[in-house]
């Protein structure tokens, strides 16, 4: 287990931080916490609304249009600090209460965002030390967002005050159902000021106790990096000691976790327990470990944007499942794009029906709410020409109708989704430590561990039709197949955790670069895959960054490996070589590329290369067949995504046609086609078409 999972070390952490439990030892909740709002629909659609930007005389019309579109939720106030706190020590929440109550009149509930991503000018001008410092030593100026330092004790005090004032006023308001802490925190980098550096040094001292321990684990004798005073240790900028770089990421995780906890504590002190607390995260953003930071939250949320181009259903589905895996429970999509954004290189509009398909995909993957950002075009500001539902003149834009159609469908189908969640036989392991370690020393610019995760995900989901993405330390005994495409950091306790899974009958598949590092980002004295060598009965003799593709052939057919290849060597009886390299650089010629071995009641497999699509399809077919994994629905035509949610006495399927041609799907038996209002065992889907099939036999 990583050091930062240990309670004793956590208790020793420095004064400025309120610590949370580590996600590396994530435990399943004793009972799932329902994300559905009591008395409201099981699946909801909403919008980000900024009443502070408009005259109150306009609010009624905005809310009337929302109600007509069947929107059930507004998220408000997350950027309204200067309106709620116009000067130090003075607060004005009357306008916000009127907005919340008027929304309730239109059967719309409110989620309050704490406004701490946008400190007001009076604060940053009077107390410039709260502003974040860039690596070059320059303070960020006022006028954008996320310009304050999350590690500033003064700024945290102001954040606590505004959050407490809001919770005192609205913690018992029946029309407020929950809270969002800040907005997309971590979006900006950590501050590089002297206060933050000293906190980092104190944090290191609490972790390592002595400089001898730190110097040993970081191997600081290399390049004369040895430290004899805690105050000598820098914040890493650019390439640096790998141990220092990884600890800076851990420190960043704990900084943002305690920044979040600073507000959670005062909200929980004053708010009713029925009000949830969440944060809107950003998919594969890697500024901190999301398994850690989401633990104190009721559930996780994320902001689902495409940007340039069109939705990639595999990557988008992977991002949904990543978010669901943070706490292993249903989630919210707190923001998604209403057609187009304004911040990408080419802000094209999604095709008609594409955003509707995205919303239903979110629900299929476990979302209980989807909110569009934003309701109406702001007349000024950095996002003037972002997509909206209502234009600057206050009348609906064409996308309003698509959002309304989708929301009407949510309302029609919501009873089918009550008390349901996805359930999978396959899990992918994602480790922030491993991701960071690879990013620090990629060895080839072409190696992208998230892209490799998507390759495994897409191939496995095409067969199984349901995949969980979870922490490497998550409970895995319920899965028939667990794959870890790039588990670079693999300390002893994690290896033992995975070996227990294999001994008890699971199938563990490791990808390239696995088992190279310990929890300090130091090379293990064993060859890859480190503490799993004995179970595998084989090891990695050498790894190679590839200049060109290498032929590979064997049980799974013939194809090519690209980007990365590892030369494996069998060391024990019972090993089976599934693929070998062909003629290459001389070192790889005729050497094993994939080895599998039965171990205990289960099996461990090592894939030492990045395989082409054809070989990956064959590999996943073998993995799933060997593990006894079956599709959740059954065969479907190409381009159809299937998702399943299970509840008491029922299962509900969401089918989406991502091809550009009409598709007919034959179901295993007659089901209730909820959106069509009929029972049938066949359904027809146009491009971006959606069907919801309820099976309660």
Q: What is the mean pLDDT of residues 236-257?
A: 96
* Closest to 20 measured CA to CA, from 265, 383, 267: 265
* Model pLDDT, residue 40: 65
Catalytic residues: 184, 335
Three-state SS at 627: helix
10 Å Cβ neighbour count for 210?
9
- Answer whether residue 18 shows pLDDT above 90: no
Please give the pLDDT value at position 376: 93
With cut-offs at 50, 70 and 90, classify the pLDDT of residue 381. confident
- Architecture of the structural domain at 640-695: Sandwich (2.60)
Residue 8 in this model has a pLDDT that exceeds 80: no
pLDDT for the residue numbered 38: 57
- Taking 80 as the threshold, does the pLDDT of residue 29 lie above it? no
Residue matched to tokens 């979006």: 187
Helices marked H in 277-352 = 290-293, 313-327
C-alpha distances (whole Å) from 466 to each of 474, 498, 644 are 17, 21, 7
Instruction: Express each pLDDT in 636-679 by its tens digit.
Output: 999 999 999 999 999 999 999 999 999 999 999 999 999 999 99
Q: In the predicted model, is pLDDT for residue 16 greater than 60?
A: no
Mean pLDDT value of segment 179-185: 96
Q: Please determine, for residue 25, whether its predicted confidence score (pLDDT) is greater than 50.
A: no
Q: Give CA–CA dist 626/603, Å, rounded.
A: 9
Tens of pLDDT, residues 267-317: 999 999 999 999 999 999 999 999 999 999 999 999 999 999 999 999 999
Judged against a pLDDT cut of 60, whether residue 569 lies above it is answered with yes
469-513 pLDDT per residue, tens: 999 999 999 999 999 999 999 999 999 999 999 999 999 999 999
Averaged confidence pLDDT in the chain: 93
Helix 354-364, helix 313-327: angle, nearest 10: 30
**Where does residue 432 rank: exposed (0-12), middle (13-18), buried (19+ CB within 10 A)?**
buried
Distance separating alpha carbons of residues 514 and 384, to the nearest angstrom: 46
Task: For strands 663-673 and 538-545, give the pairing.
Answer: unpaired
| Averaged pLDDT for residues 567-586 | 96
Half-sphere exposure of 234 (CA within 13 A, CB side): 9
**Fold observed for domain 3-202+242-415:** TIM Barrel (3.20.20)
**Per-residue pLDDT for 22 more than 50?**
no
Alpha helices per DSSP H over 354-448: 354-364, 399-413, 432-440
Question: Tell me: the pLDDT tens digits for 31-80?
Answer: 343 456 655 668 999 999 999 999 999 999 999 999 999 999 999 999 99
The pLDDT confidence band at residue 145, using thresholds 50, 70 and 90, is confident
Residues of the chain with pLDDT > 70, as a percent, come to 94
Name the residue among 276, 347, 259 with its Cα closest to residue 305: 347
Interatomic CA distance for residues 257 and 18, integer angstroms: 8
CA 642/CA 377 separation, integer angstroms: 35
**The pLDDT value given to residue 507:** 98
426-627 matches 640-695 in fold: no
Q: Is the pLDDT of residue 403 over 50?
A: yes
Q: Residue 7: which pLDDT band, with cuts at 50, 70 and 90?
A: very low
pLDDT number for residue 19: 32
Domain residue ranges of the chain, discontinuous segments joined by + = 3-202+242-415, 426-627, 640-695
pLDDT at 20 > cutoff 70: no
- pLDDT at 21 exceeding the cut of 80: no
What is the Cα–Cα distance from 535 to 532, expressed in whole angstroms? 5
Check residue 342 and give its pLDDT: 87
Q: What is the pLDDT of residues 382-393, one digit of tens each?
A: 888 899 999 999
Of 80-94, 194-208, 374-388, 464-478, minimum mean pLDDT range = 374-388
> Average pLDDT for residues 182-206, to the nearest whole number?
93
What's CA 355's distance to the chain center, in Å? 20
Q: Which helix (H) or strand (E) holds 269?
A: helix 242-270
| pLDDT, average across residues 550-557 | 98
Q: What is the pLDDT of residue 42?
A: 87
CATH topology of domain 426-627: Rossmann fold (3.40.50)
Burial class, 234, CB count within 10 angstroms (exposed 0-12 / middle 13-18 / buried 19+):
middle
Residue 549 pLDDT exceeds 90: yes
Whose CA is closest to 1, among 21, 28, 30?
21
pLDDT band at 623 (very low <50, low <70, confident <90, very high): very high
Alpha carbons 570 and 41: distance in angstroms, whole number = 56
Tens-place pLDDT, residues 680-690: 999 999 999 99
User: pLDDT category, 444, cuts 50, 70, 90?
Assistant: very high
């Amino acid at each position: 287990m990583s050091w930062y999972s240990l309670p004793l070390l956590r208790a020793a952490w420095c004064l400025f931080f309120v610590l949370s439990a580590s996600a590396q030892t994530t435990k399943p909740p004793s009972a799932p916490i329902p994300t559905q709002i009591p008395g409201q629909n099981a699946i909801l659609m909403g919008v980000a609304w900024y009443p502070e930007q408009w005259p109150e005389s306009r609010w009624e019309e905005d809310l009337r249009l929302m109600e007509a579109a069947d929107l059930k939720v507004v998220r408000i106030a997350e950027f309204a600090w200067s309106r709620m706190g116009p000067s130090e020590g003075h607060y004005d929440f009357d306008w916000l209460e009127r907005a919340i109550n008027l929304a309730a009149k239109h059967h719309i509930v409110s989620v309050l965002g704490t406004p701490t991503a946008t400190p007001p000018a009076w604060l940053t001008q009077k107390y410039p030390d709260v502003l974040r410092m860039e690596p070059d030593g320059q303070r960020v100026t006022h006028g954008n967002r996320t310009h304050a330092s999350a590690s500033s004790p003064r700024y945290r005090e102001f954040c606590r005050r505004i959050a407490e004032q809001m919770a005192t006023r609205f913690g018992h308001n029946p029309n407020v159902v929950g809270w969002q802490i800040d907005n997309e925190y971590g979006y900006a980098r950590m501050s590089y000021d002297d206060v933050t550096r000293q906190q980092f040094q104190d944090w290191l001292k609490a972790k390592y106790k002595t400089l001898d321990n730190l110097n040993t684990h970081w191997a600081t004798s290399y390049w004369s990096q040895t430290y004899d005073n805690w105050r000598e240790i820098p914040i890493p900028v650019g390439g640096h000691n790998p141990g220092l770089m990884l600890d800076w990421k851990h420190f960043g995780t704990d900084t943002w976790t305690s920044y979040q906890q600073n507000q959670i504590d005062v909200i929980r002190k004053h708010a009713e327990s029925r009000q949830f607390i969440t944060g809107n995260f950003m998919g594969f953003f890697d500024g901190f470990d999301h398994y850690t930071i989401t633990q104190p939250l009721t559930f996780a949320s994320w902001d689902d944007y495409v940007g340039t181009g069109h939705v990639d259903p595999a990557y988008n589905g992977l991002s949904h499942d990543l978010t669901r895996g943070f706490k292993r429970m249903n989630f919210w999509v707190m923001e998604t794009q209403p057609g187009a954004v304004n911040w990408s290189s080419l802000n094209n509009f999604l095709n008609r029906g594409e955003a509707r398909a995205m919303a239903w995909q979110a629900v299929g993957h476990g979302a209980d709410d989807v909110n569009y950002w934003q309701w109406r075009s702001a007349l000024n500001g950095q996002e003037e020409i972002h997509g909206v539902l209502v234009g600057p003149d206050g009348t609906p834009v064409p996308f309003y109708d698509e959002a309304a159609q989708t929301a009407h469908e949510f309302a029609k189908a919501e009873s089918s989704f009550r008390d349901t969640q996805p359930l999978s036989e396959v899990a992918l392991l994602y480790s922030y430590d491993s991701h960071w370690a690879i990013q620090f020393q990629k060895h080839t610019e072409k190696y992208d561990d998230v892209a490799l995760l998507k390759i495994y995900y897409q191939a496995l989901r095409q067969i199984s039709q349901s995949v969980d993405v979870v922490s490497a330390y998550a409970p895995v005994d319920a899965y028939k197949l667990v794959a870890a495409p790039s588990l670079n950091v693999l300390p002893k306790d994690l290896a033992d955790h995975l070996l227990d899974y294999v001994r008890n009958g699971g199938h563990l598949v490791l990808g390239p670069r696995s088992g190279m590092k310990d929890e300090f980002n130091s090379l293990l004295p064993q060859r890859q895959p480190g503490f799993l060598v004995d179970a595998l009965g084989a090891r990695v003799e050498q790894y190679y960054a590839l200049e060109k593709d290498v032929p590979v052939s064997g049980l799974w057919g013939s194809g090519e490996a690209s980007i990365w290849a590892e030369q494996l060597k069998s060391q024990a009886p019972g090993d089976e070589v599934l693929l070998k390299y062909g003629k290459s650089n001389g070192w790889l010629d005729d050497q094993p590329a994939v080895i599998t071995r039965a171990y205990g009641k289960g099996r461990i497999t090592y894939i030492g290369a990045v395989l082409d699509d054809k070989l990956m399809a064959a590999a996943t077919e073998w993995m799933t067949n060997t593990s006894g994994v079956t599709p959740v629905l059954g065969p479907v035509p190409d381009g159809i995504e299937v998702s399943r949610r299970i509840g008491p006495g029922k299962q509900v399927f969401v089918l989406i046609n991502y091809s550009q041609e009409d598709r007919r799907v034959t179901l295993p038996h007659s089901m209730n086609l909820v959106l069509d209002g009929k029972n049938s065992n066949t359904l027809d889907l146009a491009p971006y078409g959606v069907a919801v099939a309820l099976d309660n036999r």
